[in-house]
Amino acid sequence: MSLLIVTAVEAEAQAVRTAFASRPGPTVIAGGVGPTAAAAATARAIALAEAAQRPFRAVINAGVAGAFAGRAHIGDVMIATACVAAELGVTLPDRHQPLDELGFGTNRLTCSGELTKALEGRRGQFLTLAAITGSPELAASLADRYPDALGEAMEGFGVAQAADAVGLPFAEVRTVSNLVGDRDVAGWDWEAAFASLTKAFQTYPEVADAH
């Protein structure tokens, strides 16, 4: 299988590449921060591979992320069962109305369990936001709206849409660097999250990648 793994930043990409340093691995790119940059980078990579007649067969979004308190802990591996664009829709005075209630598309894409069956970690929905949650109050509100969500990041739904548009299986794998709503970086642990990301993909099967 020819696999594309999309991260936001180069440090995440390097953590994934390290897991495949001694064996055949996937194509890993840092596509940029946010759903728009991630979607554009993923679509470009898929198109270039198609043009070169070396198409990808699947796509994974990987990186570090924030977890909702009590649902995962720093250093944990989180594997998405679905990607949810938490901001996509209409924010009403008393609630948020998601896009799939409006009849203009969906704000939820299912992830492939087959792509991540070799990985161990907590499994649940994962939220994509263009603006990361900046307070405990907002975090509590999101957690209440999405009781099955493990955490939040900024790229998953964008990567998922690019893959879904051309019929490619998609998955999202994240490791926890902090809790959602906690903006005090003194309590974050980037190194633990990067180390967990490498360790998670060390159990991933070899990838016959011709790219």
Q: How far apart are CA 197 and CA 176, in angstroms?
A: 9
Tens digits of residue pLDDT in 65-118: 999 999 999 999 999 999 999 987 667 666 776 767 667 778 899 999 999 999
Q: What is the pTM for the complete model shown?
A: 0.92
In a domain, 211, yes or no: no
Domain count across the chain = 1
In a domain, 70, yes or no: yes
Tens digits of residue pLDDT in 117-159: 999 999 999 999 999 999 999 999 999 999 999 999 999 999 9
Q: How far apart are CA 184 and CA 16, in angstroms?
A: 26
CATH number at residue 116: 3.40.50.1580
In a domain, 178, yes or no: yes
Per the CB < 8 A criterion, the answer to whether 155 and 30 are in contact is: no
* Residue span of the structural domain in which 75 resides: 3-202
Q: How far apart are CA 86 and CA 180, in angstroms?
A: 14
In a domain, 210, yes or no: no
In a domain, 209, yes or no: no
Per the CB < 8 A criterion, the answer to whether 169 and 114 are in contact is: yes
Minimal CA–CA distance to 61: which of 130, 142, 192, 155?
155
State the pLDDT at residue 211.
Answer: 61
